[in-house]
Amino acid sequence: MARLTDVIESFIKEIINETGGEAEIQRNALALRFNCVPSQINYVIGTRFTTEHGYFVESRRGGGGHIKIKQIAISKPYNMFMHLILSIGDSISEHAATAHINNFVDYMLITPRDGIIMKAAIGSKALKSSNSGNTDAIRADILKNMLMRLIV
What are the φ/ψ torsions at residue 36 (nearest 5 degrees)?
-140, 180
pLDDT of residue 65: 63
Q: Is the pTM value of this prediction over 0.75?
A: no
Cα separation, 107 vs 74, whole angstroms = 7
pLDDT of residue 66: 82
| Helical H segments across the chain, by residue range | 4-18, 27-33, 38-48, 77-88, 94-106, 112-122, 124-127, 135-151
Average pLDDT of adjacent 10-residue blocks, the chain of 152 residues: 86 91 89 92 89 78 75 66 79 91 85 94 88 85 86 64
Spell out the domains of the chain, with CATH numbers in brackets: 4-71 (3.30.56.130), 77-151 (1.10.1200)
- Counted residue by residue, the chain has a size of 152
